[in-house]
Structure 1
Amino acid sequence: MDALMIVLVVTLLSQAGGRLSGFAERLAERTGRAMPVLAGVMLAQGILAVVAIRIGIMLGPQVTPETRTLLLAVALTLVGIGMMGRLPRPGSPFGSVHLGVFGIATLGAGWILLMESGPVLIAIAAARSPLPWAAWPGAMLGLAGALLPAILLGTREWRRLAWRAIRVFGGAALILSGIIVGLSVKGLI
């Protein structure tokens, strides 16, 4: 269950107001079709989470428990650092829609997710858990919790929220968590 909670909380924090949420809300606003956007993004997350969990299952037995926990600390810190970056720009990140809304949502979300450290965190959480597949529902629920408000609120209302402060606070919390986990493994805390 630790994999489920770690992945759920970190995914929810890191994706709220991030590049993927901005991409999904802009695509839904532009096309007026929220359900295909949500389905495409969730499909991309589901596929990448399955691949990350399989990698975690393969790597888990090959490293010591201390190393797995140190890798978790590094992944938490990297996700927190990534949250400190710029917010997504309000303009459209893509040209005309030739692949359909579902296709654009799936490919765009897959590309954005691959560029972030979320799949790495999922793999590490799966590697250190006795129930590695529990990371999958955590990844899906965390992303759904971050995307639904972005898609349902629309561009104007979504942009009014204090995303900069939310992401800086969330990133600082993840960086601090990573440091605490890393120091506790080494017995320094």
Structure 2
Amino acid sequence: MDALIPAFIIAALAEMGDKSPWLAAILAARFGRAAPVVLGIVAAAALASIISAVAGALIQPLLTPNARLLFLAVALVFSGVTGFLALRRPDDLENWRIGAFATSFLGLFILQFGEGTQFLVAGLAANAKVPALAAAGATLGICAVTIPMALAGTALRDRLPIRAMRIIPAILFLVTGLWAAVSALRLI
């Protein structure tokens, strides 16, 4: 359980103001039914999280405990910094004619690897006793944020305080990442 809850929380915070929930809402509105979009979200989140956790597990034996903590610190700081950058509307994938599930799965999977969540999952997995729990927690965290947006649609997203939803986690990630970096470097 050492990585499940932290991965859930970190993934949910990282996804709150990001493009994946926005794309999910766009796709659900475009296809007019949420079920295939939700299944695509779950499949994309699971596959992206598994790949990231495997990467973290593969580098785990190569790094010392302090290096693993520093890797996680860099991921946290990276995610914190990106939270202050402007968020552009994701491509609505209108030219994709492969169906609701395939469009949702591939679109969200590709988008996941452009976001910091997967870097965070790799960092958590590298520090976990059971890296698979980092993948499970991250999948649940991504789904906990993205699925409700697919069900609610773009109208809800337009009413949410997206700027605050990006800045508050960004500050948390920066502070936590800097603290972890200082600890990993044994400066405290």
Would you say same fold, with TM above 0.5? yes
**TM-superposed deviation, 1:96:** 3.6
The 1-side partners of 2:164 and 2:2 are apart by 28
TM-score norm. by structure 2 comes to 0.93
Stretch deviating more after TM superposition (98-107 or 43-52)? 43-52
Greater CA deviation, 131-140 or 146-155? 146-155
Contact 1:26 1:92 in 2 (8 A): no
CA-to-partner distance for each residue in 1:88-130, whole Å, 9 max, x for gaps?
Answer: 43x8622244100001101111111111122222122111111
Q: Does 1:46 align with 2:46?
A: yes
1:22/1:88 contact within 8 Å kept: no
Unaligned runs of 5+ in 1: none
Q: How does 1:116-127 map to 2 (within 5 A)?
A: 116-127=115-126
Query: In terms of mean alpha carbon deviation, does 52-61 or 100-109 score higher?
Result: 52-61
Equivalent in the alignment of 2:59: 59
Q: 1:28 to 1:88 in 2, by over 3 A?
A: farther
Tell whether the 8 Å contact from 1:17 to 1:146 is kept in structure 2 after alignment: no
> TM-score of the superposition, structure 1-length normalised?
0.92
Letter in structure 2 aligned against 1:54? V
| 1:50-129 aligned within 5 A | 50-89=50-89, 93-129=92-128
Q: Deviations over 1:28-72 (max 9, x none)?
A: 011111111111122112112222222222210111000000111
Give, in whole Å, the separation in 1 of the partners of 2:83 and 2:35: 26
Percent of aligned pairs sharing the same letter = 31
Partners of 1:133 and 1:85 lie apart in 2 by 31
Contact 2:15 2:117 in 1 (8 A): no
In the TM superposition, what is the alpha-carbon distance from 1:183 to its structure 2 partner?
1.1
Q: Which residue of 1 aligns with 2:184?
A: 185
More deviation in 134-143 or 59-68?
Answer: 134-143
Structure 1 residue 188 displacement after superposition: 2.9
CA RMSD of aligned residues (A): 1.6
Q: CA deviation at 1:26?
A: 0.6
Q: Indicate if the aligned counterparts of 2:52 and 2:135 stay in contact, CA closer than 8 A.
A: no
Secondary structure in 2 aligned to 1:112?
A: helix
Distance 1:159 1:149 in 2: 14
More displaced stretch, 58-67 vs 146-155:
146-155
Unaligned runs of 5+ in 2: none
Matched, 1:139 2:111: no
Measure how far apart 1:131 and its partner are.
Answer: 1.2
